[in-house]
Amino acid sequence: MTLIIAGGIVSPNLGLAFWLIIVFSLVMFVLRKYAWGPITKSLIEREETIALSISRAEKALAEAKQLSEDNAKARRESELQAQQIIRDAREAAEALRKAEEEKTKAQIKQMQELAQAEIGREKQGALEALRAEVATLVIMAAEKVVKENLDSPKQRQLVDHFIKDLSKN
C-alpha cells in the first residue's frame, strides 16, 4: 500500500496538474493583488522614508560641520581680537607711562629752573645786602679815619663809586 500511494503521487495526472495550475494562478493573482502590491507599496514608502531620513541626517551633519567650522573661525577671530586688544592696551599703557615720565621730567626741570632763579635772586639780594653793609662799614671806617666832615650824599656817592669799581674787579 505504501507503494501505491507513493506511486500515485509521483505519477502524472493531468486533471491534478490542471487544477494545480489554476489554483496556483489564482493564489498568485490574489497574492499579487492583495499581498504583494501593498507589501511592495509599503516597502517603497519605507525606502523613501529611510532615504529622506538619510538625506535629512546628511544635511544635518553638513550643517553641524558648517556650524563647527563657523564656531572655530569665530573663536580664532575672537582670540585674535583679544590679542589685539591686549596689545593695544599695552601700547597705550606704555605711551601713557612715557607721557607721564616726560611730564614729570618737565616738572622737575621747571622746578630746578625756579629753584636756580630763586637762588640767583637770593644771591643777588644777599650781595646787595652785603654791599649795603660794606658801604655802611666803609663809611663808618672812613669817617673815623678821615674825620673829615663830608655830607652824607657825597659819602654815599663815593661808596657807590667804590662798590662799582669792586664789582668790576
Q: Read off the pLDDT of residues 106-147 as tens digits, 9 standing for 90 and up.
A: 999 999 999 999 999 998 888 888 888 877 877 777 776 665
Alpha-carbon distance of 139 to 161, in angstroms, equals: 13
State the pLDDT confidence band at 1, using cuts at 50, 70 and 90.
very low
| Statement: residue 35 has pLDDT above 90 | no
Identify whether 8 is part of a domain. no
State the pLDDT confidence band at 152, using cuts at 50, 70 and 90.
confident
Q: Which three cell numbers stand for residue 117?
A: 632763579
Question: How many domains, in total, are found in the chain?
Answer: 1
Cα dist from 134 to 10, 85, 106, 119, 147, whole Å: 168, 71, 41, 22, 19
Identify whether 107 is part of a domain. yes
Q: Which three cell numbers stand for residue 82?
A: 583679544
CA dihedral 144, 148, 153, 154 (to 10 degrees): -120
Region for 147 from its dihedrals, namely left if φ exceeds 0, alpha if ψ lies in -120 to 50, beta otherwise: left
Helix 37-146 and helix 152-168, axial crossing angle in degrees, nearest 10: 130
* Residue 130, domain extent: 35-168
Instruction: Round the average pLDDT of the chain to a whole number and report it.
Output: 84
Position of cell 506511486? 7
Identify whether 74 is part of a domain. yes
Identify whether 5 is part of a domain. no
Length of the chain counted residue by residue = 169
Identify whether 123 is part of a domain. yes
Identify whether 155 is part of a domain. yes
Identify whether 119 is part of a domain. yes
Residue ranges of alpha helices (H) inside the chain are: 2-10, 14-30, 37-146, 152-168
Identify whether 19 is part of a domain. no
Average pLDDT in the 90-109 region? 93
Q: Which three cell numbers stand for residue 126?
A: 644777599
| Statement: residue 6 has pLDDT above 60 | no
Q: Which three cell numbers stand for residue 20?
A: 494545480
